Amino acid sequence: MSAILPLDLVSAVVVIWLALAVLGLVAQASPRFVTNFIFPLGACASLVLLAAAFSALGGTPDIAVLPLGLPDLPFHLRLDALSAFFLLLLGAASFGISLYSAGYFRTMDKGTLGLLCFEYHLFLASMVLVMLADDAYMFMVAWETMAISSYFLVTTDHKIPEIRSAGFIYLLVAHVGAIAILMCFGVLQGGHGDYTFATMRNAHLTEFWASITFFLALFGFGAKAGMLPLHVWLPEAHPAAPSPVSAMMSGIMLKTAIYGILRVSFDLLDMQLWWWGVLTMSLGLLTALYGVLFAAVQTDMKRLLAYSSIENIGIILVGIGLTLVFHAFHKDALAALAITATLYHALNHAFMKGLLFLGTGSVLHATGERNLGKLGGLIHSMPKLALLVLVGALALAGLPPLNGFVSEWLLLQAFLLSPGLPLPYLNMLVPVAAAALVLAAALAGYVMVKFYGVIFLGQPREKRIEKAHDIGIWEQLGLGWLALGCLLLGIFPVFVIFNIDHVTRTLVGQTLGSTPAQTGWLLLTPIHPERASYSPLILFAIVVIGVLFTIFVVKKFYHGRLRRGPAWDCGFPEQTARMQDTAEGFGQPIRQIFKQFFGVIREVPSPFDKKPHYHGETRDLLWDWGYLPIARLAETLSRLAGKLQHGRIPIYLLYSFVTLLALLVFVR
């Protein structure tokens, strides 16, 4: 066999990234070389990965055994449709992010840059290995490498105490999750002692143990994904990390967790129970609503996006839950629809969130400001960035004809089709779940108007940000790629679904069908043309034609005279930039309506204060009610345990003596 297999190409990409990582360390004396050469080269490797993954989508699974690892435990690799899809996501998103990084890290000081380049490429390579792993041992090694390299990326600015504590929380949650994943694999191997995935696929578990496995996986991978109540690390880690790292973590790393859940529940487990689906769906809905509500009240632009990621992970989990329910009841056509929506949304989110996080990076670079309350009016000083971020914001708000809308449309179709399940209570639950989902989707629009409007529109709230410089060529390329992705994924859904079908087939045994062949590539018809159809291209074309036509008619018949003057504002003479809504102000209605869900701390000055001071803070109640008690309990327990330690040898000898006596008494 002389042809190059996709698996070989993917492995080559891993090797290239590892080599670039080391090269970054070696060449750290010359930052120019690192930014102009290593990062673009890494981006080229992403393209190779994209191509390899794309060709592997339709092919048969490739298997390889590496002569690495422990003596009796070689690394197993496998590239099947599911891994190929997530590798494709990784390649596509990391291409844009790496290009952007080439420009973004230009101003970083030497020592940090070399380390960062090392960790960055190691992180990329480890994510590929997570998706290639075909045994639990290699999976965990890759998974932990991913966690640790991203920990170091998050704590790039480790001299700031908040960033160190954010990194610690991240590492803690990541490891609690990793323990659950490890136990999940432990149950899965079913006592054979063989940890390859091939054995796990053949193992038959009882319903009880299968459920234990599923929930361990959901917990473990959910911790990485940001599922409620394990989401607390996201809003801490994302603002701390450099923006390309946030983009990569939110756009790609969260999806490795989704990959893990899908791998365990649809591939490794041989049964799916319907109530797993109901539970996952409920958790997903809670996560989505919780995330979007908190996103609406944030004042830090990266925290806002972090909460929005939590929301999107919630939507993806809803999709997985729905798929599980359908699959358990052998409604495979519906399961195919739900899983397609899920995968589509995962892909979309990589593009949208990558784009927006990178956009905040550019804003941060140009203004040095992360607080929404101090930004504003950047559309004038950074028009290119404003245009590209607008695409991402509209996509994330789920508006047609961009990509976010397509996946939400598919998911809603799946919901609408669900009646007919054998359990009547479940049929009742579905409309309620659909209602919660559309509420979350509508709130996402609110969040995005706030995000975009407060940063880019209006007047600058601080004098100094008027002089912000627009983005350079590398940033434009990276952002442009991701924005183009948002547009194309939105306009040509039939092609995308045609390729996702390969994954759907391996997961649920059925596909959305040969719709492109039946109805042409213009119309997206997941079930039947009579049932539902959507054509973003036609919609896009009509809107464009409508706009051009209107402009033409207005130009033709209208004199077109235009004057510039001060803003009218109902004739109010005094207008300052401070009169615009701040981020707090824009989020106020949400805080008002949903105040039960927030821990709001407000200090309102009295009217007679000489120096009025206003302070408002919205706290995460789960942190206060869930995490702090656990932390306090752990502290109390360790203090009790600490009482045993006195540092005096006679007392330790006494302990040994008592233990020995006890053993003699009990063991005999």
Partner 1 sequence: MSYSGLLLQLFQDALVVLIAPLLLGWVNQCRAWLQNRSGAGVLQPYRNLVKLFHKDAVLANNASPLFRFTPYILFSGMWLAAALVPVIATDLPLSPAVDVIALVGIFALARVFISLAAMDIGTAFGTLGARREMLVGFLAEPALLMVFFTASAISQSTSLVTIVETLAHRQFVLYPSLAFAAVAFVMVMLAENARIPVDNPATHLELTMIHEAMILEYSARHLALVEWASAIKLLAYITIGIALFAPWGIAEASNLEALPLALAALFLKLAVAGASLALLETLSAKLRIFRVPEYLGTAFLLAVLAMLVHFLLGA
- State which of positions 580-639 bind partner 1 (CB under 8 A): 580-581, 585-586, 588-590, 592-593
For residue 519, the SS3 value is: helix
Choose between 428 and 662: whose C-beta lies nearer to partner 1: 428
Which two tokens mark 316?
């993806």
For partner 1, what does the binding mask look like between residues 276 and 315, x meaning CB under 8 A?
A: ----------------------------------------
Q: Identify the residue among 159, 204, 556, 563 touching partner 1 (CB under 8 A).
A: 563
Q: Quote the Cα angle for 640-643-649, to 5°.
A: 150
Contact in structure between 250 and 238 (CB atoms under 8 Å): yes
Nearest to 75 by CA among 183, 198, 196: 196
CA distance 542 to 555: 19
Q: Is the dihedral angle over the CA atoms 40, 44, 45, 49 positive or is it negative?
A: positive
Contact in structure between 70 and 136 (CB atoms under 8 Å): no
Choose between 178 and 406: whose C-beta lies nearer to partner 1: 406
Q: Identify the residue among 1, 2, 109, 558 touching partner 1 (CB under 8 A).
A: 558
Contact in structure between 225 and 254 (CB atoms under 8 Å): yes
In angstroms, give the least distance from the CB of 5 to partner 1: 41
Contact in structure between 337 and 230 (CB atoms under 8 Å): no
In angstroms, give the least distance from the CB of 534 to partner 1: 5
> For residue 618, what are the β-bridge partners?
600
Q: Identify the residue among 67, 159, 207, 557 touching partner 1 (CB under 8 A).
A: 557
Contact in structure between 465 and 378 (CB atoms under 8 Å): yes
Q: Identify the residue among 546, 605, 612, 629 touching partner 1 (CB under 8 A).
A: 546
Q: Identify the residue among 368, 529, 605, 629 touching partner 1 (CB under 8 A).
A: 529
Choose between 257 and 355: whose C-beta lies nearer to partner 1: 355
Choose between 130 and 293: whose C-beta lies nearer to partner 1: 293
For partner 1, what does the binding mask look like between residues 473 and 512, x meaning CB under 8 A?
A: ----------------------------------------
How many of the other CB atoms lie within 10 Å of CB of 332? 15
In angstroms, give the least distance from the CB of 591 to partner 1: 11
111 binds partner 1 (CB under 8 A): no
> For residue 135, what are the β-bridge partners?
196
Q: Where are the beta strands (DSSP E) in 134-215?
A: none
392 binds partner 1 (CB under 8 A): no
- 165 Cβ partners below 8 Å, 6+ apart? 236
Phi-psi category of residue 521: left, alpha or beta, with phi > 0 → left and psi -120 to 50 → alpha: alpha
Choose between 107 and 427: whose C-beta lies nearer to partner 1: 427
How many of the other CB atoms lie within 10 Å of CB of 300? 17
In angstroms, give the least distance from the CB of 445 to partner 1: 6
How many of the other CB atoms lie within 10 Å of CB of 556? 8
In angstroms, give the least distance from the CB of 454 to partner 1: 8
Choose between 93 and 410: whose C-beta lies nearer to partner 1: 410
423 binds partner 1 (CB under 8 A): no
What residues between 429 and 448 interact with partner 1 by CB under 8 A? 431-432, 434-435, 438-439, 441-443, 445-446, 448
Pairing of strands 62-70, 73-79: antiparallel
Which two tokens mark 421?
């399940």
CA distance 339 to 267: 13
- 629 Cβ partners below 8 Å, 6+ apart? none
What residues between 396 and 415 interact with partner 1 by CB under 8 A? 397-400, 405, 409, 412-413
What residues between 82 and 101 interact with partner 1 by CB under 8 A? none
Choose between 216 and 297: whose C-beta lies nearer to partner 1: 297
Q: Quote the Cα angle for 522-517-544, to 5°.
A: 5
Question: For partner 1, which stretch binds (CB under 8 A), given 12-20, 545-553, 606-614, 615-623?
Answer: 545-553
CA distance 27 to 12: 22
CA distance 144 to 181: 11
Choose between 68 and 442: whose C-beta lies nearer to partner 1: 442
Q: Identify the residue among 275, 495, 549, 614 touching partner 1 (CB under 8 A).
A: 549
> For residue 79, what are the β-bridge partners?
62
Please report which helix (H) or strand (E) contains residue 67, including its range: strand 62-70
Choose between 66 and 543: whose C-beta lies nearer to partner 1: 543
Q: Identify the residue among 192, 469, 531, 646 touching partner 1 (CB under 8 A).
A: 531
CA distance 104 to 87: 24
In angstroms, give the least distance from the CB of 356 to partner 1: 15
What residues between 451 and 470 interact with partner 1 by CB under 8 A? 452-454, 457-459
Choose between 469 and 528: whose C-beta lies nearer to partner 1: 528
Question: For partner 1, which stretch binds (CB under 8 A), given 136-144, 340-348, 375-383, 481-489?
Answer: 375-383
416 binds partner 1 (CB under 8 A): yes
Number of residues that bind partner 1 (CB under 8 A): 85
Nearest to 293 by CA among 656, 4, 620, 604: 620
665 binds partner 1 (CB under 8 A): no
The DSSP result for 425-485, as a single string, is HHHHHHHHHHHHHHHHHHHHHHHHHHHHHHHHSS--SSGGGGG-----HHHHHHHHHHHHH
29 binds partner 1 (CB under 8 A): no
Contact in structure between 242 and 364 (CB atoms under 8 Å): no
Choose between 380 and 602: whose C-beta lies nearer to partner 1: 380
CA distance 452 to 301: 10
570 binds partner 1 (CB under 8 A): yes
In angstroms, give the least distance from the CB of 121 to partner 1: 38
542 binds partner 1 (CB under 8 A): yes
564 binds partner 1 (CB under 8 A): yes
What residues between 141 and 170 interact with partner 1 by CB under 8 A? none
In angstroms, give the least distance from the CB of 350 to partner 1: 21
Choose between 205 and 523: whose C-beta lies nearer to partner 1: 523
In angstroms, give the least distance from the CB of 293 to partner 1: 11
